């Protein structure tokens, strides 16, 4: 058998001519001590590396803030709320049109609306697999004070189903002067649910 064909032997393999530590001329006690020290060092390095990786992941998670609270909405993207009386309006994006009405009584907001998905989605897709709409109260500087769910829907046939409607009573923070809307959804099926393909769509007005 050629030298290159011989199997590699571990330097920590016990016994035989392939025992690297044994060939160093160490006593049995010295050999065992060195073997245990090296193996302990390797094991410790592995644990240290795992600890470092775990710490990095945890620090990353703590610094990742995916919620809207504390973010800022530009003034042209939030709606000023009158202090009292019934009001109505229209909010439109590239994906949909929201016709809404509200009546504010101090920190209580009674809001209803109709959501119509707009032409770009209707021209390319047949189904809205899911859709979720939030209202986000903001203060005078446009800072988001939280997020409140308005409606969640799914399996909407864009050809046959009507608009999504909602009617909610919201409790607003004392310093709320307006609201912004945020949504996420997925459309699929180019004319048929089974045609495959999909498009995720969303509106996050804050930065």
Where do the domains of the chain lie?
Answer: 3-63, 75-203
User: What single-letter DSSP state applies at residue 143?
Assistant: B
H or E stretch covering 59: helix 28-63
Residue 152 CB contacts under 8 Å (≥ 6 apart), including other chains: 130, 131, 132, 133
Name the pLDDT band for 116 (thresholds 50, 70, 90): very high
Closest CA to 146 of 130, 161, 134: 134
Instruction: Write out pLDDT tens, residues 26-52.
Output: 555 555 555 665 455 445 555 454 444
Whole-structure pTM value: 0.67
DSSP string, 114-136: EEEE-HHHHHH-SEEEEEEEEEE
Query: Any idea which fold 75-203 has?
Result: Immunoglobulin-like (2.60.40)
Q: Tokens 């030298």: give the residue.
A: 3
pLDDT at 84: 79
Q: What spatial distance separates the first Cα and last Cα of the chain, rounded to whole Å?
A: 69
Average pLDDT, the chain: 79
Name the pLDDT band for 189 (thresholds 50, 70, 90): confident
Instruction: Write out pLDDT tens, residues 54-109.
Output: 344 334 433 334 689 999 999 999 999 998 789 999 999 999 999 999 999 989 99
Helices (H) and strands (E) in the chain, counts: 2, 9
């Amino acid at each position: 058998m050629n030298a290159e064909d011989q199997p590699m032997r571990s330097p920590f393999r016990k016994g035989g001519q392939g025992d690297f530590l044994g060939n160093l001329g160490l006593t049995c006690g010295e050999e065992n001590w060195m073997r245990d020290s090296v193996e302990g060092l390797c094991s410790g390095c592995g644990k240290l590396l795992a600890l470092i990786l775990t710490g990095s992941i945890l620090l990353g998670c703590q610094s990742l803030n995916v919620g809207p609270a504390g973010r800022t909405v530009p003034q042209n993207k939030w709606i000023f709320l009158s202090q009292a009386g019934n009001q109505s309006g229209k909010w439109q994006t590239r994906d949909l049109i929201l016709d809404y009405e509200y009546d504010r009584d101090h920190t209580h907001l009674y809001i209803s609306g109709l959501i119509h998905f707009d032409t770009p989605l209707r021209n390319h897709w047949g189904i809205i697999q899911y859709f979720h709409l939030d209202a986000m109260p903001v203060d005078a500087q446009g800072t988001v004070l939280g997020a409140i769910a308005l409606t969640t829907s799914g399996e909407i046939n864009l050809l046959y189903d009507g608009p999504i409607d909602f009617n909610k009573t919201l409790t607003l923070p004392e310093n709320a002067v307006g609201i912004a809307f945020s949504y996420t959804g997925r459309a699929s099926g180019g004319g048929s649910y089974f045609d495959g393909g999909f498009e995720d769509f969303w509106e996050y007005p804050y930065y």
